[in-house]
Structure 1
Amino acid sequence: MKHLYLFFFFFSAILFSQSQNDTTDLKEVVIKADSEIQSDFQSDANVSLLNRQDILRGDQSIITPILNQIPGVYMQQGGLNTNKINIRGIGARAQYETNRLKLYYDNIPLTTANGTSTLDDIDLTNISNIKVIKGPQATEFGAGLGGVIQLKSNLPKKETINSGLIFGSFDYLKQNYSLSQATEDKQIYLSYNNLSSGGFRENSEYQRESYFLNSKWKLSENSDLQFLGQFTSMKGFIPSSLSRTDFENNPESAAFTWAQAKGYESYDSGTFGLNWSQHYDEFYTQNTSVFMNFRDAYEPRPFDILEDQNIGFGIRHVGGVQFSLFEKAAEIKLGGEFMKDDYDVSTFENLYEQNNNQGSLQGEKISDLKQNRQYLELFSTLKIELNSRWNFKFGLATNKTKYEISDRFSTGENAQNGNYDYDRVWLPNFVSQYQFSDNHKISASISRGFSVPTLEQSLTEEGVFNTNLKPEKAWNYEVGYQSKWFGSQLLAEVNAYYMNVENLLVARRVDEDRFVGINAGSTIHPGIEFSFKSNLDLDESLQIQPYFSGNFNFYEFDTFVDGDDNFSGNDLTGVPDRQLNFGLDAVIFNRLYLFFQTNAVSEIPLKDANTEFTESYAFSNLKLDYRFIIFKEIQVSLSAGVNNMFNEKYAASIVTNAVGFGGSEPRYFYPGQGRNYFGGFRLSYNF
């Protein structure tokens, strides 16, 4: 604490000493211009946007509290390496991964053919803004059930060198260095990030290094070529979940077996892609991407040791033509996406109990499987402008997914080999928007989406693939209202939707920390989402942006029979039925930035029987950031903040349907971190 007080003293001294300096060069960092609210108003229906200021408002360790500002999005964070995202309840039943949504960086997919996404491989400093499309309305991205998260690149507009350091409680340290170059015919951005944490729990140390290159070259007046390269090396120990007794009385502890095995996960991963974009006059545009990804992972767990390697490649193309249809302005887009991944998955005995308290020790091989998975998606959209206020958009996508399994361990009748596929699906989409005044518009949509089982869901307790699993499918119905008030100073949005999911994929617990996927019926997902955000220029020395958002869900199992148990009519497990977010951003004298956010979450059902629940909670984060110019070319930023400032005890993530083995309590809870502090500085030199 002594160092923190010194930091605040130094911070305050600079604030007063610099308060009269020229601020002309700092105007580009205004928190929320009226033009951005206007841009949000003009966006497509059911699209949420986060700008760079939103993304970097915290300690930059993970995007959880930022994404959770978006109504209908709920990200759980069991640790820096244990997180999952669900959108409108889709993905809530995933145990330790994010699936059922698609992740892109610009036009390059970051989601594997297996359907899993790792958002934190891209450091937050390498993102300029985030676009979230909720539900199966994203025809151009395959119409997944959960939706799409698209990360936008932060290509530079000038030549800059940046250096940043953030430090905090529990030995948290993040270093960031970047170099930008921009000329008339090229833009280059190169960065290095190193993030480490001791963790507040036993067996929760974390280390991640990442290298990132993004460049764009002007090939001609109408043509650009973008190259993206990203490499991440991560090792994170796993404390795992706790029983209710340990969660309430000893949240810093790790699960006993995970502590004994010193369980962790580590991997090297990378994504590389080329995107060629071109426009021919004002009527035709095209984007074509080729990409590859790889992942080499090792994960010692108490029940086994998992080795898996994956390498994939693919191509994506979207072309658009603008034309006149019955004297109405129209645009048609045609495209497709092909991806192929090769997975090698092996498991070994973990002999940690025989290793003299030294942690995991690899034993004999238990299984050795190879899966080749590929999909082909084709899509088309037609948008018609009936007049300046009313438009229709029709979309149709189709997907064909197949895979081949090779068992390289078992022989004879026990071997699992063969070619399998899922039935082709057709995914229509209809959206209409009507702007009945300059400040008010409504929208309505009907869309269909699907998601195939992931590799982890497909593995049975014997370590073989369950080839009988079926993809989830759903129809989504939605209406929305969006309005501006007081010019462009207040934006209000309300959406109501209803989704019914068939062939629901759920996780059945078969052993401690081991789950298998099953199809278990259907769910219904009705909900209401709302958000209000404003930009108020009170005078030249003070800008404030209050915002308020939330959602009310009424998700339940429609038909869900698991063995002798009938859970039909119960609330959907693993997702809160209420989320509220309140925040206030402010700029004082165009130098001092304040970011305050409160996130409130209702109780969450832990079991399909609805007999166990988490407690509701609310936590608040605060950050102060002071920026000033020295020597005319160097911008300095000093920051300090506190997370969970009122020291709320809460479950940051949960394991649904946990079962106690050997007389032990079920382990449902990943405890959230208590009050913790951080501070940092950043230097930017503009050539």
Structure 2
Amino acid sequence: MKKPQKKTLHTHKTALSLLLIPAFTPGFTQAADTQPKDESTLLVTAKPTTVSELDTPAAVSVVYGYDLRQAAPRINLSENLGSVPGLQIQNRQNYAQDLQLSVRGFGSRSTYGVRGVRMYVDGIPATMPDGQGQTSNIDLNSVDSVEVLRGPFSALYGNSSGGVVNVKTETGRQPPTVEASSYYGSFGSWRNSVKATGSTGDGTQAGDVDYAISASRFTTHGYRDHSSAQKNLGNAKLGVRLNDVSKLTLLFNSVDIDANDPGGLTEQEWRDNPTQAPRADQYNTRKTTKQTQGGLRYDRQLSEHDDLSVMMYAGVRETTQFQSIPESAQKNPTHPGGVIQLARHYQGIDTRWTHNGELG
């Protein structure tokens, strides 16, 4: 899976331009052969170094961050990602539950969270070992691209992955920029965010540092009763060029969600008043989620065709949820109760060796 489609097209255009030079200048080749060769001769060549999603045999789609943020509230991943073929992503309009995401049917039967589809953010798995993933920690303000892999090639990421969603965030470049944005919508919906990116060099020399820091806050009263929510999200990426062939990148991400759960309605309740939440008011149903994670990635170019990447990451995700389960049902000794409280610590090491070559 290769992201920079635009670079690929640009490289092809460069190669095509160089090939057309002798055609439009007949004396160019002969003059070049008769001139003596010395140390001042400059030879310029260009060839494609990446493969676009149109050339790969896998079913891959790439959506760039600019397209995701264009004319969008920048709150949920479902806003501008629904154009990917085979991908169905729905916003439940309930911030106590995550988005419903499915790829070619995988994950469509999930009652909460994302199941059957593996998710990665800057190489760190957003899918827990139990198979449940979440999109709540994806910062749309700093997304560089979202790659969606469908079909049998998804098995490369695990034996139970019906699809793969790989999110990559921006890398700081010159010149330094500071961006602030706000969004206002109905029912008291606000989103304020700030982002700073930049670098101390062009990223190719030893000692060059690049950074991309983003933070946002979203609040809403909600359309229905007992459906207010607030979400604080932060994302940071710091890279240091160690030498000409190696780089060290530090990743940090944090999300804090506090949301009320309005619950479901019967058909008659919906016809009477679609904004009511009778059981939510009775049990004060709500959910809080806090997740903090960090990672350290080391990238090294071993040769012209080989690259090595080593990543270490760790994080903690805490979830507390109050459900609308009647007291009579909870008195059953085998019933788990009406409150869910989880604290999951996760860590891992990921090592990848990539070889770019040609067969045949």
> Normalized against structure 2, the TM-score is what?
0.76
Q: Which residue of 2 aligns with 1:186?
A: 209
Residue in structure 2 matching 1:80, options 74, 95, 108: 95
Q: Is 1:318 aligned to residue 352 of structure 2?
A: yes
Q: Which residue of 1 aligns with 2:114?
A: 98
Q: Which residue of 2 aligns with 1:177?
A: 194
Query: Does the 8 Å contact 1:264/1:299 carry over to 2?
Result: yes
Query: Does the 8 Å contact 2:96/2:286 carry over to 1?
Result: no
Q: Which amino acid aligns with 1:80?
A: Y
Shift of 1:191: 1.5
Q: Which residue of 2 aligns with 1:306?
A: 340
Q: Map 1:268-287 to 2 at 5 A.
A: 268-287=290-309
Query: Does the 8 Å contact 1:136/1:145 carry over to 2?
Result: no
Shift of 1:125: 0.6
Residue 163 of structure 1 aligns to a residue whose secondary structure is strand
Residue 208 of structure 1 aligns to a residue whose secondary structure is strand
Shift of 1:143: 4.4
Q: Which residue of 2 aligns with 1:196?
A: 219
Query: Does the 8 Å contact 1:181/1:188 carry over to 2?
Result: yes
Q: Distance in 2 between matches of 1:165 and 1:116?
A: 32
Residue in structure 2 matching 1:48, options 61, 64, 71: 61
Query: Does the 8 Å contact 2:68/2:79 carry over to 1?
Result: no
What's the CA shift string for 1:61-100, capped at 9, x where partnerless?
2121322211211122222342221111111111111111
Q: Which residue of 2 aligns with 1:164?
A: 181
Q: Distance in 1 between matches of 2:200 and 2:245?
A: 17
Q: Is 1:235 aligned to residue 286 of structure 2?
A: no
Residue in structure 2 matching 1:155, options 136, 160, 171: 171
Q: Which residue of 1 aligns with 2:142?
A: 126
Compared with structure 1, are the counterparts of its residues 144 and 216 closer, same or farther at alpha carbon in structure 2 (3 Å cutoff)? Answer: farther
Compared with structure 1, are the counterparts of its residues 77 and 266 closer, same or farther at alpha carbon in structure 2 (3 Å cutoff)? Answer: same
Q: Which residue of 1 aligns with 2:330?
A: none
Q: Which amino acid aligns with 2:348?
A: G
Q: Distance in 2 between matches of 1:48 and 1:153?
A: 17
Q: Which amino acid aligns with 1:129?
A: S
Compared with structure 1, are the counterparts of its residues 286 and 77 closer, same or farther at alpha carbon in structure 2 (3 Å cutoff)? Answer: same
Residue 281 of structure 2 aligns to a residue whose secondary structure is helix
What's the CA shift string for 1:366-421, capped at 9, x where partnerless?
xxxxxxxxxxxxxxxxxxx23xxxxxxxxxxxxxxxxxxxxxxxxxxxxxxxxxxx
Q: Distance in 1 between matches of 2:8 and 2:209?
A: 30
Q: Which protein has the bigger strand share? A: 1
List 4+ stretches of structure 1 deviating above 6 A: none
Q: Which residue of 1 aligns with 2:246?
A: 223
Residue 280 of structure 2 aligns to a residue whose secondary structure is helix
Shift of 1:157: 1.4
Q: Which has the higher contact order (CA 8 A, sep 6+)?
A: 1
Q: Distance in 2 between matches of 1:98 and 1:287?
A: 27
> Normalized against structure 1, the TM-score is what?
0.41
Q: Distance in 2 between matches of 1:229 and 1:194?
A: 17
Q: Distance in 2 between matches of 1:108 and 1:34?
A: 26
Shift of 1:152: 1.1
What's the CA shift string for 1:334-360, capped at 9, x where partnerless?
xxxxxxxxxxxxxxxxxxxxxxxxxxx
Q: Map 1:263-662 to 2 at 5 A.
A: 263-303=285-325, 304-321=338-355, 329=358, 385-386=359-360
In structure 2, list runs of 5 or more residues that go unmatched: 1-5, 13-51, 202-207, 326-337
Shift of 1:306: 1.2
Residue 128 of structure 1 aligns to a residue whose secondary structure is strand
Q: Distance in 1 between matches of 2:319 and 2:242?
A: 38
Compared with structure 1, are the counterparts of its residues 104 and 40 closer, same or farther at alpha carbon in structure 2 (3 Å cutoff)? Answer: same
Q: Which amino acid aligns with 2:224?
A: R
Instruction: Give the CA RMSD over aligned residues.
Output: 2.1
Q: Which residue of 2 aligns with 1:582?
A: none
Count residues in correspondence.
Answer: 293
Q: Distance in 1 between matches of 2:69 and 2:298?
A: 29
Residue 121 of structure 1 aligns to a residue whose secondary structure is coil
